[in-house]
Structure 1
Amino acid sequence: MVKLLSVETIENAKPIVLMIVVQSIYAVVNIMLKMVTNDGSSLSVLIAYRFVFSTAFTVPLALFFERRSVQNLTGKVLFQAFLCGLFGGSLQQNLYVKSLALVSATYTITMLNLIPAITYVMAVSLRMEKPNLGTPAGKAKLIGTLSGIGGAMILTLYKGKRLFNFSMHIDLLQQYVTSTPHKSPSGSHVWGIMLALGTSLSFSLWYITQSKMAANFPWHYSTAALTSLMGAIQSFVFALCTERDRRQWKIDWNLRLLTAASGGILASGVCFVLLAWCVRMKGPLYVSAFNPLLLVLVAFIASLVLDEYITVGSLTGATLIVCGLYMLLWGKSKEARQVDNNNNMNEMVSVKDTDKCDSIHIANSSLTCIQKDHDKNTLGEV
């Protein structure tokens, strides 16, 4: 019994651990992207190279572990993969880096915290998620989502008094500022905010599309490979149309290459596989609920390497995010247990009905035999 409970506990904890790993990888890559946007790199070319690395990493994995998935490729699956490559790859990443170049990272990351709310509304609208606001689990999911968004807003918009930091007394951001950074033109603030909002919408559409794709194509390595391949094709076409300077296509052994490689192999390659698995197992709302953790991790890493302080606002926001995440996960787990209990009860009722029918059948058979014997005796007497 203890072994069964331990195995069940490990299986329940696996998605949580994997999503924390995903957000940790995203946090590191975000710090690197902040530095790259200051050194004059062509962002569209950087995204194109990123998905080339991602494709080179995920395709061999898919061919090795899930070779049978090729037989299940249909036109519908390829179209869904194209949408995943668009919403989760080329469009999403280009919108994100352009927003980083036009406005401060504070505004961009703040808008990304709308992802759980947008995903929740879309999932409920498409009947992929039941609100169940009349139940404690449904209320916990709603309050948890709002708490995570509110905490993220406090974390980014309110600083307050400085408390402490874990500074290593280095500021990497200043080391990569060149004379030709991406400067925001006049009146571009609103446009940058709109791009960040578009990034959040693209993320939500990606989670929803990936969930639909998993119903017909339940192979997470192959899903990640197809998403990376479609994203690479789309981003290369976009980069060729927008960037004509050949010098921007040359990548030396510097931060640009490191960012493209780590973003492709880790943030797009590894994370695509983990996200595909978690979406298939837990659904799009569960996955999107972990997005606010990105701010907590970025704040901690920035404190280490960018010499930024932990403030009253960041500590309060982080607390609300963690509490909101716990409430949402509790609501999801309670709903899952309720579904399991209902299924078990239905099975028990079905078994009882079967036993009852068998008993009735046996009883009827016995009565039939008794009636036949009685008829024989009656005929004998006559």
Structure 2
Amino acid sequence: MRTTALVLIMAVSVHASTIMAYGNQPHARPLDLLGHALLAATALGLAPLPRRPGLALAVCAVAAAVIFFRGYAIALWPVPALIALFSAIAAGRRAAGWAGAAFLVAVPVVAALARMEADVALAVLVWLLLVLVVAQPAEVSRARRAYTREVERRAAQAERTREEEALRRAQEERLRVARELHDVTSHTVSVIALHAAVAAEAVERVGGPPEAAAALQVIRTSSRQALGEMKAVLGVLRPGASGHAPQPGSAQLPRLLETAGLPVAFDVEGERRPLPPAADLTVYRVVQEALTNTMRHAGAGAATVRLTYEPGAVTVQVEDDGRGIPSKAAAPGPPSQDGPGDGPGDGPGDRLGDEPVRRGHGLTGMAERVAALGGRLTTGNAPGGGFRVTARLPT
């Protein structure tokens, strides 16, 4: 649109100025059909701008040279050539631009040498200065554009380098954690599983109490399950790892409850349906962490796990019959994201039974898992006593 407007303005300007110039240049050749066509060519030559400034400069310069040698009145018809000259050099077409500048200067120089008149030589000098005045700012504009592009290129390269460095460091940290899990934690859990198996066989051999045998079996089963889950984590931390077990979900809850270490009732409400993988894993982890806290801190004799399927959501609730949080720690207020054991308490000195309510990572991680899926985790004392953990997840 701007190029079209420029062409129209130049077409009107060169024609009007040339017609008016005849009043001061009586010896100039009168405008004929060819003269009008050449004037139109000087303006139309700007049409290829800005995509092909070299072509625009060639058309405008040749048309202006023919007008000059034909002897038409001197007016504004060289202006389109100067505009094309500036555009060519500023766009980085330096060879075409300076070749056009040399051509624009050479044409009047040839005429001056042929006539050898002082006023013609002065006009040629003025024209040379005018061409340089146009070409030099074009060089400045070209250099500024090149500098800006280089700065932008270096900034983009630096950003890519920072991102690559951050990814490299993150990968190194993941590999370090994977090594620690494999070399330390995995070894320790393997030792626990091995000694639990040996102890179970010893208890069975000497006819020990059934409770001890059952507890050792729970330890053995849980440690094996922990090893399987640890292999799954290693598969995530180490790209390209394969052969790890799939992530657990709600389908594995009955097996988890069998190894909970206390009687756990399991209720399912609503029509069961497949859950999204992230929600399915979160349901399993919420139950796992809640039962772990119950065993460690609540002093409970039994627990209940309730899984409720709702339209567009699933709710999992774990409730025990333990001590709960004393009244000091369970001050009135909105439902908390915290809980007993390794969850944050309401202040220093809060106690759950005989144990202090400490700040840790279990319930915090549980709350983060739920929040990451857009759900909500609430924890607190159950109406009939004990402690309750409820997570509602959108599906």
Q: Which has the higher contact order (CA 8 A, sep 6+)?
A: 1
Instruction: Report if TM-score (shorter chain) is over 0.5.
Output: no
TM-score, length of structure 2 as denominator length: 0.29
Larger strand proportion of the pair: 2
Larger helix proportion of the pair: 1
TM-score, length of structure 1 as denominator length: 0.30
Q: Which of the two has higher C-alpha Rg?
A: 2
